């Protein structure tokens, strides 16, 4: 079932081009990756029970919904602006909040991992940091591929 937002976008597309092919895609959780070691576990088998979470995304609610859908009970959450570059003081604050709420790990997104400063491990102290690897799932992917290949052959 399409999300309400996608139906609105599809109606807008149809207003300008009634025959345009429309394919829906979404991100699906794939694995938890330990940032320090690269160790991976299936997304459904979180290696923690009480994580604290942080992200700097344009739509942070999508990350929170994903965590909820995975059955995670985060003890604390923090949102930062999209593309946020984390500072040392912020990571110390995140670790302090996690510690104060009894967290056993920190979780974030791959995008956020890339925006952490050098020495992030020392700043987070005893907390392992995991990021959620996702994969793109396209509805009717075979049909989309066929259409692309056909258009490239023209």
Count of CA atoms in the C-beta half-sphere (13 A) of 153 = 6
Phi, psi torsion values for 140, nearest 5 degrees = 55, 45
Structure tokens at 19: 């025959």
Beta bridge partners of 118: none
Global pTM? 0.82
Assess whether pLDDT exceeds 60 at residue 1.
Answer: no
Q: Give the mean pLDDT of 113-127.
A: 96
For residue 95, the model assigns a pLDDT of 98
């Amino acid at each position: 079932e399409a999300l309400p937002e996608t139906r609105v976008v599809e109606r807008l597309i149809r207003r300008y081009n009634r025959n345009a092919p429309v394919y829906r895609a979404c991100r699906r959780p794939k694995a938890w990756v330990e940032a320090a070691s690269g160790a991976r576990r299936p997304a459904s088998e979180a290696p923690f029970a009480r994580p604290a979470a942080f992200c700097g995304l344009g739509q942070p609610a999508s990350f929170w919904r994903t965590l909820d859908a995975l059955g995670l009970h985060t003890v604390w959450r923090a949102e930062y602006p999209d593309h946020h570059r984390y500072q040392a003081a912020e990571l110390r604050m995140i670790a302090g909040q996690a510690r104060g709420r009894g967290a056993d790990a920190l979780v974030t997104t791959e995008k956020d991992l890339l925006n952490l400063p050098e020495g992030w491990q020392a700043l987070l102290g005893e907390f392992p940091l995991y990021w959620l690897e996702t994969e793109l799932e396209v509805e009717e992917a075979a049909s989309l591929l066929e259409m692309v290949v056909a258009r490239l052959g023209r």
